[in-house]
Structure 1
Amino acid sequence: MKSYVLFFEQVDRSSLPYVGGKGANLGELSKAGFPVPGGFCVTTYAYRDFIATSPEMVSFLDELNAMDPNDFNQLRKLGERIRIHLQQLEIPFHLRNEIIHAWESVGKEYAYAVRSSATAEDLPTASFAGQQDTYLNIKGQDELLQHIRKCWASLFTDRAISYRAKNGFDHRQVYLSVVVQRMVNPEISGILFTADPVNGNRKVVSIDASFGLGEAIVSGMVSADLYKVKDGQIIYKNISEKKIAIDSLPEGGTVKKDLPPDQQTKQALTDSQILRLAELGKRIEKHFGSPQDIEFCIENGKIFVVQSRPITSLYPLPDIPQEPLRVMFSFGHVQMMTDAMKPMGLSVLRTVFPKKVFVEAGGRLFVDPTEVLRTKLGRKILPKVFKNLFDEAFSHALSEVIQRPEFLQIPPKLGFVKSARRFMSPIIKEVWKNLVKRDPKLAKSKVESFMQKKWTEVREELQGTTGTKRLEAVQHQLSILAKDVFQNLFPYVICFPISFLLLKKALIRWIGDDKELFLLNKSLPGNITSEMGLQIGDLADLVRELPEVEEYLKHTNDQTFYQGLSNVHGGEKFKRVFDEFIAKYGHRCPGEIDLTRPRWREAPVQLVPAILGHMRSVKPGEHRQKFIQGEQEAQEAEQRILDHVGRSGLKSKWIKRLMEVYRHMGGLREHPKYLLTLILDECKKAIMAEAEELVKKGVLQQAEDVFYLTLDELIQLSKGEFKQDVVSFIADRKEKYEWHQTLKPPRLMTSEGEMVTGSPRKGEFPEGALIGNPVSAGVVEGKARIVLKPEEAHLNEGEILVAPHTDPGWTPLFQSAKALVTEVGGLMTHGAVVAREYGIPAVVGVDDATKKIKDGQMIRVDGNQGFVEILSDENG
């Protein structure tokens, strides 16, 4: 039998569909013995029966679902009509009686808080906080019924309708319960977060408190005191000036009043109360199993909890212990791909790299270098590496964490230093030989010989078997890949940043500045990704001669891309050249470290914007001319350096050697990633072939569903050992992936969940400038073109590329860009190196650049000092 009213003691988590998030949480707290003022929930059955008495509500809800969520005028008018209608609707007699009976049972002499509790509210991934209304100090039967009806109507406030529409909730599927809770008349109220809501630290309890009712804090009328507690100790206090308080009136309702001067700056909570609250909060968190946002109040010295809900804004933690303190950095920020990844993509990378070091959180990978940082040498070297390879803020953040007493007091694991030395010693010897002895010109042939051998080995093994054996072969090849690449390619590639730093130091000491160094970076010999960019330019030049092909490319799609070319004049000619490009680079794409991303061979239309953009912004043959010019500029810079230093003697010999190493090894920096993506693509072909077989057998609904499984799970599935319902399992994974996509990953986080940002770069910058890191010299002005996905790019001549990040899949756009601005990156990351090679200014690590800069705005990019100025507010 459906109940219209349930008392808190009758309610728990399973009651969510009937009492909403707020009601279910209060029921849980009551049942668990936490100090919750008594009350009851008017269930969603009551709401449904109430609106069922209205013949107009069906058409109202249909109108809401058909409405454009961005049409605020229509939204406001429709919401107002629904609210007025509901507030005039009579509550059915039987429902009215049940509510009055519950009210009398708790005590009609009390005042009550009447709060809305929606079924899509206070959920782990959607809080809906503040979307519906709350009414305080409600007294008497008639007032209670009136405010319950107001709560029901508040399901259709402008903000509630808009929030649901934008978050994809069907208005017909969200129901409202009303929480009726005995009012406490508190001296002090506040909000307690069991994790720091600002930086995410799960061990820090953060408490806001002020005098009177908590409404003054929630509504922002008063600046509350802020207290922070960690491990049973108060670690921070900020006593605010609390000028006003909201109190209950004896006859019902509330009043705002001024506090006397001596109370305004008084600490609202005693130290003892702060610690008691923190301990209570942690017990509530333990009960719910996740960090909580708790509303509390104190009446006559007794603490009451009036609400608890999950904190939905925290970035998820990796599955590792919080203690002892560990530090992790975002692999996506290093690889210039910060988007969430599907489970298969994550598991493949965690097969390639050590699982203990590469941990997953929020659909991203984080690298845990803690054991290295436990050593003195690691603490000395790694922050410098971060500063030179990534950015200063990254380095500052890392340095700040590793100097904390709780980090320093933990020694490295027994035997770690010895095993690290044993592993690294032969590699360091190889690096030394490459730096000072071997001919750098021979490095390319050695590297590419290994790459060809490795790729052939993987391809032959995967093509020579099927079924579970093929999937196990995929797993085996991935598991040995990192070690092979590290031992065979790392000794060459690492010489590029080492020679860069040594050259920089030598040039500053012997010449006085390092300006020539950036010219040496131009047109590096043998850079496989730069060559890819040049071939895109060749394709664009070919299309210039084939107007029908150009027109075709503007309207084509992936499914008919190749077939359609046969019907266009010049299509076969273009197809032959394009096929050659795909044969060499078809395994690449934006975000290519994620195996689940569609490759260019699978989705060739991704390349069309780059080809057409090149035609618009680069003259015929100009890309090849620029490359030759870059080579000449690099040679001239080399000659000027030698002229300055002298052409004989140890200085000259040393700097000449460094320049040779720098250019030839720099040309190899993209080779390891090229090999990784080649092998990932071979593995993808094998995985998709097995997925198609599982579709034929009816195990999977579609082949792409395999991306929502891990590699281990897929192997279990192929063996028939997967124990769960595959369809519902994959549906849950898809939902989780959608949530992960909404998260913004931190650059650096600790095992306690703290997001450490580091202090921003200091210097004299123009007012309002967006500060980043200078990685490619020069100052230019131009129109900003915001590009979130390269396949959707529309760059014109003289425009500045503003992107969240770039990786080799973005390279085709660099020929067209006048300058580069990205949100993540550092001195040696992809965008920076390619920008220097192409000779365009670049500033990276500009927080929220794609939001702060509007598409079409005129901006100035200063790649010398590392900032961006917005020159006009107008965008075109």
Structure 2
Amino acid sequence: MKPRVLFFEEVDRSRLPEVGGKGANLGELARAGFPVPEGFCVTTSAYREFVATSSEMEELLEELDALDPEDVEGLRALGGRIRAHLLEMEIPASLKREITEAWRRAGEEHAYAVRSSATAEDLPTASFAGQQDTYLNVKGREELLWHIRKCWASLFTDRAIAYRMKNGFDHRQVFLSVVVQRMVNPEVSGILFTADPLTGNRRVVSIDASFGLGEAIVSGKVSADLYKVKEGRILQREISEKKIRIRPRPEGGTVTEDVPPEERNRPALADDQVLRLAEMGKRIEKHFGAPQDIEFCVEKGRIYVVQSRPITSLYPLPADLPQEPLGVLISFGHIQMMTDAMKPLALSIFRSVFPKTFLYEAGGRLFINPSAVLRTRPGRKLFPKVLKNLFDESLGRAVEEVIRRPEFHRVPPPPGTGRFFRRHVLPIAKNLWRNLWANDPSAVKEEVERFIREKREEVRGALQGVSGHRRLEEVRRQIQGLPREAVPRLLPYVLSYPVSFLLLRRLLGDVDELNQLNKSLPGNVTSEMGLAIGDLADLLRELPEVEAYLARAEDETFFEGLQEVEGGTRFKEAFEEFLDKYGHRCPGEIDLTRPRWREAPTLLVSAILGHMRSVKPGEHRLRFKEGEREAREAAERILDRVGRRGFRARRVQRLMVVFREMGGLREHPKYLITAVLDECRKAILAEAERLASEGVLGRPEDAFFLTLDELIRLAKGEPFRDVSALIEERKGRHEWQQTLKPPKVMTSEGEIVTGTPRRGEYPEGALVGMPASAGVAEGKARVILSPERASLSEGEILVAPHTDPGWTPLFQSARALVTEVGGLMTHGSVVAREYGIPAVVGVDDATRKIRDGQRIRVDGNRGYVEIVEDAGE
């Protein structure tokens, strides 16, 4: 028989299923010698035994299972019935005796805090804190037994039920232990975070403290003093006016009383207490191996720990990243316009390409570590400017903020940094200069496209010529070799586009003609893809039966079904031609594990139908031609302004040609990368299907939850761990990682840095971002988090977290663009300028602050968004 009562000294982490998160953590602390008030846990076995005496509980739980999570009234009524039922039940006599014996042994003269401790509580990835009830200053046997029952019943409070439903916890699989802990009568109580909960800095301890019991802080009834400590030094001390305090009453229970006016502004803690608390907190963090949220009390000068749990709100740090010296990490996803969590296979592929000290993984995302470059003088000067002008203004400001700190720039660059610049950066810079001033821009496109065709065929041939683990090893070889070939060949062309733009802006000023120059760039592979979508939509207008079929089509039978409807063969030929060129693309395409359009053609249906309904026949082609005309006229106006002769005029004319020609090549490198990734995806899935047929994998897609090296070992027949269990564990972790919001910039200490806000005069309540495409537009907001099966109606404004080429089908229908991520030269900005629609990018939390259907005004000249009226007004 499992124990029904356990004292703290009998408890450690292995007892979590019996005593819950709170009880297990207190037991760990007590056994490790930390000052924990003595007490015991009434275990989950006791709770199960208590519930088992009910003849109605199973029926009530079945009703709960059938309840709609959105039915607030139903949830409230059923929760009330369950709680009332549990409170009416009697505790079994033998269990009552065992609890009474423990109470007497602990000291019946004491008052106790009676706290719930759920088995799914205070876990590294989920915290049930505050979901069940706590009772303070409980005195006497009958009161203790009554409050234990009240704790058990609190497992079914409205908020606890709703939380379990939201987070996918089965009501039958979450059990409750009750922690009974000697009550401390403190002068001061508080909460200690061993990492700063606001910034995420793992080396800063943050302490909130006030007079009396900690319930005043937890309930928000009092403003606490704030202390921040780093490495034995108090960084910040904010003393609040503490008007009330909660104290235990001699007869039991608590009372709220006023603090005398002369004491209200007195610091709750002396400096030596602050430092002792910080030091103890760091020792507790070290014991648990993770940052902790700790509740403490100070009674007669002695510090007690009454609770410790993981801080679950922090964004994870890379496991292999040293915290010293101070370094800076930049989100790879924000630069690539894809901030979703990636599966282990995709992460491992990117990490196999770059040095381990340059690219790190955290929270299912990749982070670039440019600290070595930023410690050099040219790096400090140029790198933030590149980030601000080309990628994301706020990202560049955040990096500037970090590198200005003495603890960053005092550290010299690592040995070999200069050699790296000479070997890799200098040749690219030389080629960039030649592209700007010497090479023939019109000859470049053919050379680039030939290289892409040849490289794709080379990769395809290499992967088709082998099988088994050798094919997977060839995948690794091809991916690792791609940057060595592609970067020196293509990067100088790609950089010529933004650099020529910046040089033109310096020569001409920030004039409207520069935006006009960006329209209808020649040969842009992504723009051509958007035009091809429009052609498919125009063809569909002539084929009503095909249109009706597409609305119900499924991926598995997509092309077979087309052949069964009138006009289907004609549309099928055109659609297959499109997929032949663009089928390797999709939203979030840098993630090799994402399904491609060639595999899931229905992903394009909403965009095609939306285009057909919101854009007139042939209008997309007419717009493109109009853009070409406007670009030519803008170039003529610029030349009229600077003159047709002279050195300055020749420079401007040359840069305009480079800007147009190289701008058309901007998307080609990504086109090549995604084409190579698609060939690798085909090879990996072919081997995964074989492994699944042999029973090594449950299904082919399980391969995505292994690293490439692990998959190679599996294909070789080399056993490692329980593969099925490992995959299931990683699926759960990936699901949790998808809920995280990755920071744009963070330090090696875990601090999330946002940078100083952009300055300017804006309307009150405006959402400020970066102006990316000129013009002002007003319309209905269409908030789209993922473009799969999404469409826009005529006149709607696209509001998105980010965009990449997989979003292009939506642009033809958009009146304007607002994104949370982006800069002047990122995908959405460039395409918006090409299409001549206003765009504001880098608007923090735009998809949360703007609601679907609201009427908004997008000012792409000054870089802000106004909410004009709410949906339905």
Establish whether TM, by shorter chain, passes 0.5: yes
Instruction: Say which of 808, 824, 828 aligns to 2:805.
Output: 808
**What residue number does 2:208 align with?**
208
**What residue number does 1:846 align with?**
843
Instruction: Give distance in 1, aligned partners of 2:232 and 2:514.
Output: 54
Q: How does 1:169-318 map to 2 (within 5 A)?
A: 169-318=169-318
Answer yes or no: is the 8 Å Cα contact 1:133–1:151 preserved in 2: yes
Deviation of residue 233 (structure 1)?
Answer: 0.5
Deviation of residue 455 (structure 1)?
Answer: 1.2
Instruction: Say which of 645, 648, 653 aligns to 2:645.
Output: 648
What CA deviation, in whole Å up to 9, does each residue of 1:3-36 have, x standing for no partner? 1100000111011111000000000001111000
Q: 2:575 matched to 1:578?
A: yes
Answer yes or no: is the 8 Å Cα contact 1:353–1:482 preserved in 2: no
Seen in structure 2, the aligned counterparts of structure 1 residues 637 and 644 have a Cα distance that, compared at 3 Å, is: same
Deviation of residue 88 (structure 1)?
Answer: 1.1
Answer yes or no: is the 8 Å Cα contact 1:35–1:305 preserved in 2: yes
**What residue number does 2:497 align with?**
496
Instruction: Specify the code of the residue in structure 2 equivalent to 1:94.
Output: S
**What residue number does 1:752 align with?**
749
Instruction: Give distance in 1, aligned partners of 2:839 and 2:64.
Output: 46
Normalised by the length of structure 2, the TM-score is: 0.99
Answer with 164-173 or 389-398: which moved more.
389-398
Q: 2:99 matched to 1:67?
A: no
Instruction: Specify the code of the residue in structure 2 equivalent to 1:729.
Output: L
Q: 2:529 matched to 1:528?
A: no
Instruction: Specify the code of the residue in structure 2 equivalent to 1:746.
Output: P
Deviation of residue 439 (structure 1)?
Answer: 1.0
Deviation of residue 349 (structure 1)?
Answer: 1.6
Q: How does 1:738-817 map to 2 (within 5 A)?
A: 738-817=735-814
Q: How does 1:627-666 map to 2 (within 5 A)?
A: 627-666=624-663
Answer yes or no: is the 8 Å Cα contact 2:602–2:789 preserved in 1: no
Q: How does 1:701-740 map to 2 (within 5 A)?
A: 701-740=698-737
**What residue number does 2:364 align with?**
363
Instruction: Give distance in 2, aligned partners of 1:548 and 1:354.
Output: 54
Q: How does 1:267-416 map to 2 (within 5 A)?
A: 267-318=267-318, 319-416=320-417
Instruction: Say which of 855, 858, 873 aligns to 2:855.
Output: 858
**What residue number does 1:540 align with?**
537
**What residue number does 1:450 align with?**
451
Normalised by the length of structure 1, the TM-score is: 0.99
Q: Percent identity?
A: 69
Local SS of the residue matching 1:729? helix
Local SS of the residue matching 2:556? coil
**What residue number does 2:57 align with?**
57
Local SS of the residue matching 1:560? helix
**What residue number does 1:86 align with?**
86
Instruction: Say which of 599, 604, 608 aligns to 1:602.
Output: 599
Instruction: Give distance in 2, aligned partners of 1:554 and 1:801.
Output: 22
What CA deviation, in whole Å up to 9, does each residue of 1:351-400 have, x standing for no partner? 23333211100000001100000101100111111110123321221111
Deviation of residue 697 (structure 1)?
Answer: 1.0
What CA deviation, in whole Å up to 9, does each residue of 1:108-166 have, x standing for no partner? 00000000000010000001110000000000111111100100000010000000011
Q: 2:588 matched to 1:591?
A: yes
Answer yes or no: is the 8 Å Cα contact 2:852–2:871 preserved in 1: no
Answer yes or no: is the 8 Å Cα contact 2:393–2:842 preserved in 1: no
Instruction: Give distance in 1, aligned partners of 2:504 and 2:309.
Output: 56
Local SS of the residue matching 1:762? coil
Instruction: Give distance in 2, aligned partners of 1:311 and 1:41.
Output: 23
Answer yes or no: is the 8 Å Cα contact 1:79–1:157 preserved in 2: yes
What CA deviation, in whole Å up to 9, does each residue of 1:661-704 have, x standing for no partner? 00000000000000000000000000000001101111001000
**What residue number does 1:554 align with?**
551
Q: 2:692 matched to 1:695?
A: yes
Instruction: Give distance in 1, aligned partners of 2:196 and 2:607.
Output: 44
Answer yes or no: is the 8 Å Cα contact 2:188–2:299 preserved in 1: yes
Instruction: Give distance in 2, aligned partners of 1:821 and 1:524.
Output: 22
Answer yes or no: is the 8 Å Cα contact 1:25–1:308 preserved in 2: yes
Answer yes or no: is the 8 Å Cα contact 2:563–2:569 preserved in 1: yes
Instruction: Say which of 676, 681, 705 aligns to 2:673.
Output: 676
Deviation of residue 763 (structure 1)?
Answer: 1.0
Answer yes or no: is the 8 Å Cα contact 1:82–1:156 preserved in 2: yes
Local SS of the residue matching 2:76? helix
Answer yes or no: is the 8 Å Cα contact 1:713–1:722 preserved in 2: no
Answer yes or no: is the 8 Å Cα contact 2:853–2:870 preserved in 1: no
Instruction: Give distance in 2, aligned partners of 1:860 and 1:409.
Output: 46
Instruction: Give distance in 1, aligned partners of 2:80 and 2:104.
Output: 33
Instruction: Give distance in 2, aligned partners of 1:679 and 1:187.
Output: 66
Instruction: Give distance in 2, aligned partners of 1:561 and 1:845.
Output: 38
Deviation of residue 793 (structure 1)?
Answer: 1.2
Instruction: Give distance in 2, aligned partners of 1:875 and 1:703.
Output: 46
Instruction: Give distance in 1, aligned partners of 2:221 and 2:428.
Output: 63
Answer with 300-309 or 348-357: which moved more.
348-357
Local SS of the residue matching 1:790? coil
Aligned-residue CA RMSD in angstroms? 0.8
Q: What number of residue pairs does the alignment pair up?
A: 872
Deviation of residue 794 (structure 1)?
Answer: 2.6
Instruction: Specify the code of the residue in structure 1 equivalent to 2:470.
Output: K
Deviation of residue 753 (structure 1)?
Answer: 0.5
Local SS of the residue matching 2:840? strand
Instruction: Give distance in 2, aligned partners of 1:351 and 1:114.
Output: 52
Instruction: Say which of 798, 819, 824 aligns to 1:822.
Output: 819
Instruction: Give distance in 2, aligned partners of 1:53 and 1:714.
Output: 51
Deviation of residue 720 (structure 1)?
Answer: 1.4
Instruction: Specify the code of the residue in structure 2 equivalent to 1:369.
Output: P
Instruction: Give distance in 1, aligned partners of 2:804 and 2:481.
Output: 24
Instruction: Give distance in 2, aligned partners of 1:459 and 1:449.
Output: 15
**What residue number does 1:167 align with?**
167
Instruction: Give distance in 1, aligned partners of 2:462 and 2:500.
Output: 38
Answer yes or no: is the 8 Å Cα contact 1:120–1:128 preserved in 2: yes
Answer yes or no: is the 8 Å Cα contact 2:112–2:139 preserved in 1: yes
Local SS of the residue matching 1:792? coil
Instruction: Specify the code of the residue in structure 1 equivalent to 2:800.
Output: A
Instruction: Specify the code of the residue in structure 1 equivalent to 2:661.
Output: H
Answer yes or no: is the 8 Å Cα contact 2:787–2:807 preserved in 1: yes
Q: 2:13 matched to 1:16?
A: no
Instruction: Give distance in 1, aligned partners of 2:611 and 2:343.
Output: 32
Instruction: Give distance in 1, aligned partners of 2:598 and 2:156.
Output: 49
Instruction: Give distance in 2, aligned partners of 1:875 and 1:179.
Output: 51
Instruction: Give distance in 1, aligned partners of 2:356 and 2:670.
Output: 20
Deviation of residue 875 (structure 1)?
Answer: 4.0
Instruction: Specify the code of the residue in structure 1 equivalent to 2:593.
Output: T
Local SS of the residue matching 2:728? helix
Answer yes or no: is the 8 Å Cα contact 1:854–1:875 preserved in 2: no
Deviation of residue 64 (structure 1)?
Answer: 1.0
Answer yes or no: is the 8 Å Cα contact 2:207–2:228 preserved in 1: yes
Answer yes or no: is the 8 Å Cα contact 1:857–1:873 preserved in 2: yes
Q: 2:868 matched to 1:871?
A: yes
**What residue number does 2:425 align with?**
424
**What residue number does 2:37 align with?**
37
Instruction: Specify the code of the residue in structure 2 equivalent to 1:503.
Output: L
Answer yes or no: is the 8 Å Cα contact 1:858–1:875 preserved in 2: no
What CA deviation, in whole Å up to 9, does each residue of 1:735-786 have, x standing for no partner? 1101100100000011100000111111111111111111000001101111
Instruction: Give distance in 2, aligned partners of 1:74 and 1:157.
Output: 13
Instruction: Give distance in 2, aligned partners of 1:216 and 1:236.
Output: 22
